[in-house]
Amino acid sequence: MPSSRRAWPSFLKVVDKGEQVVAKVLTVVTAVVIVAALGQLIMRVAMDLISPQPANWLGDGLIKVLGDLLTVLIALEVLQNVTSYLRRHVVQLELVLVTALTAVARKVIVLPAGSENKPQLLIGLGLASIALAGAYWLVIRSQPQGRIDQGSHQ
């Protein structure tokens, strides 16, 4: 029995090391995705600017650019989540909630025309927004007054 108790911390070290490796791989993959997506976004906007045909910057064109921009922002927030976990070995709930709120906001912004005919989708997005905003408010409210911790300032 005593030998199995000694094996347990060793097993946990292996699990922890595996977690660290996976998180580092996710960090690299996410960084590559962000760079590629940002490059595509920059090229698309640049091509629209130098194109002899006028770009449609209003309506669907603007919504597509904003959707792409918010997608890159969400990927950047996911990268912050993973790197924050690597630094502190804790999941920052505030950062996760902000990422989720950004994702829901992006979905609302890029809703196609005719979505008003899908009440379940609109209700679901509304409830998700309210739930995430409420959870974020509770997390902020539960923190000590003197603590100002923004993961990106490290």
Q: Are the C-beta atoms of residues 129 and 104 closer than 8 Å to each other? A: yes
pLDDT at 1: 47
CA 149 to CA 121: how far, in whole Å? 34
For 51, the token pair is 């194109």
Domain edges within the chain? 2-153
CA 138 to CA 134: how far, in whole Å? 6
Query: Along the 154 residues of the chain, how does pLDDT read in single tens digits?
Result: 455 556 677 888 888 888 888 888 988 999 999 999 999 999 988 888 787 776 666 777 788 888 899 999 999 988 888 888 888 877 788 889 999 999 999 998 888 878 888 889 999 999 999 999 999 999 999 988 745 555 444 4
Phi/psi-derived region of residue 54, left when phi > 0, alpha when psi is between -120 and 50, beta in every other case: beta
Q: Are the C-beta atoms of residues 110 and 63 closer than 8 Å to each other? A: yes
What's the Cα-to-Cα distance from 21 to each of 11, 34, 35, 86, rounded to whole Å? 15, 20, 21, 10
pLDDT at 89: 76
| Geometric angle at alpha carbon 140, from 134 and 141, rounded to 5° | 85
Question: In degrees rounded to 5, what are phi and psi of residue 16?
Answer: -60, -45
